Amino acid sequence: MNYEVIDNLKVEVLEFSGTVETVEKASLLSGEPREKIAKTLLFKLNNEYVVFIVRGDRKVDYIKANDILGTKPQLASPEDVKRILGTEPGAVSPIDRQIKKLKIFLDPKILEEEYILCGGGSKNKLYKVKTSDLISYLNPNMLDIFK
């Protein structure tokens, strides 16, 4: 097993010969179910960029998000992802200081999992991290705007 400490957070690094930029590919190559995979997505709320971390078997519920947040979130463009987060779409990791600078909304269903796999900063790498460690690292807003 290959472990690294990134920004004081211990993760297991999983590297693949294929790409893992979608939940489907990450699930297939890692052998983990979709529930154990977390997507890190950049959105725009009015004029502010925010991050949604969503369990792999769920997606943003735009109606619920609009009701709770008072505005409809818009998925950031690939150019915005590169500019704001400094990485390619499909390679975004929640374990990143750029992410921590933004407001983070986390799918509460992730708390049902002991650990999750998340983006590892490149399209062929995932990080396996204890859910409790990720929560401590990110200090996210728990908000059920997902379905």
* Residue count of the chain: 147
Confidence of residue 136 (pLDDT cuts 50, 70, 90): very high
Alpha helices in the chain (DSSP H): 23-30, 62-69, 78-85, 97-100, 131-138
Query: Tokens at residue 89, please?
Result: 């779409």
Q: Is 20 exposed, middle or buried (0-12, 13-18, 19+ CB in 10 A)?
A: buried
Confidence of residue 42 (pLDDT cuts 50, 70, 90): very high
Compute the distance between CA of residue 55 and CA of residue 66 in angstroms, rounded to an integer: 19
42, β-bridge pairs: 51
Q: What's the topology of domain 3-142?
A: YbaK protein (3.90.960)
pTM for this model (two decimals): 0.94
pLDDT tens digits for range 53-103? 999 999 999 999 999 999 999 999 999 999 999 999 999 999 999 999 999
